Chain A
Amino acid sequence: MAPDRAVAAQARPEQEFFCFRVGDLRLGVPSENVLEVLRAGLLTPLPRTPSFIMGVTGHRGEVLPVVDLLRFLSKGEARIGPRTRLFVGITGSYVAGVVADTVLGLRRIPVSEILPPPLGGDAAAEHLLGVVHGSGNQDAINLLNFSKLLQTARQRAVAR
């Protein structure tokens, strides 16, 4: 079976995404940008940070800034509850915890099914790799360019 699968993958290249839901959004991040998923624990708010930085938390002996993607993308505001998860996202030397209401899991998405971000979309569209549609509009997943997103987040933070 494995060789067949390899041949099929070559014929129809796929990319793996870590998919999750936050607020009303279903989002995906390239799996190479995700280190692990953990429960949202104690958050320490920071003074004068951008609103999308919810604070910091300690994790494995390091300090992790926690990012609210809803605020970053101007789509509302995330809320931390007992079932809230953080995924640890990384790009280069930048590491951050990102709030997720529900983890949908890892999905291998055929590259041919990834549609370009909508033209003339809102500011969030500039941080999208594309969109993949499911059986209905409700099932669409917005695929994030996480590297660009985290770099923009840092630029916005230090520019203040």
Chain B
Amino acid sequence: MNDEHVQEQEVVDILFFDIGHSLYGTDASQVLRIDRSLPEDITLPGLGLPLRGHRAIVFDTPEGEGHLKVDAVHAVRSIPLNSLRRMPPTAGAAPYAVGVYLEEARAVLLIDLVETARTQGTQGRH
């Protein structure tokens, strides 16, 4: 196992997106595609309401495709695993808030897309 291979194992691809004025990240391997949103797509008050919400992140769930309404989708970036942190136990955040990406002092919330669908109780469209 050479150094290059080790480095390859130590990153994860994160897709960054905006809802309202907040930046979030999610494991890019959960994402199937970016689509136009429909009114019934998932919005979670805990993540803030989209300003326009013209886009939806489409992801796979055991019940079918899920669609989370977002305002903007940024690039997929390869993030070192050692920049990711679990949610502190004292925080007691929603189950879809699985951790944090630390970009210096800025903490970007990492979202489990499948959990957003479970929380909403719907996939977003049928």
A side interface size, CB within 8 A: 32
In this complex, how many residues of chain B approach chain A with their Cβ under 8 Å: the count is 26
Which residue in chain B gives the minimum CB-CB distance to A155?
B92
Question: A57 to B103, alpha carbons, bound, how many Å?
Answer: 11
Contact A157 B92 (CB under 8 A): yes
Give the docked Cα–Cα distance between A42 and B92 (Å): 20
CA distance A153 to B92 in the complex (A): 9
- CB–CB A48/B100 < 8 A: no
B104 CB to nearest chain A CB (Å): 7
Which of A29-37, A62-70, A74-82, A126-134 touches B? A62-70
B51 at the interface (CB under 8 A from A): no
Which A145-160 residues sit within 8 Å CB-CB of chain B?
150, 153-154, 156-160
The reply on A121 being an interface residue by CB < 8 A is no
Residue numbers in B under 8 Å from A56 (CB-CB): 87-88, 91, 100, 107
Q: Say whether B39 faces chain A, with CB atoms less than 8 Å apart.
A: no
Tell me the nearest residue of chain B to A150, going by C-beta. B90
- Give A22-62 interface residues, CB cut-off 8 Å to B: 41-42, 44-50, 53, 55-59, 61-62
Q: Knowing A42-B105, A154-B89 are in contact, say whether A47-B100 is a contact too (CB < 8 A).
A: no
Interface residues of A (CB under 8 A from B): 41-42, 44-50, 53, 55-59, 61-65, 67, 94-96, 150, 153-154, 156-160
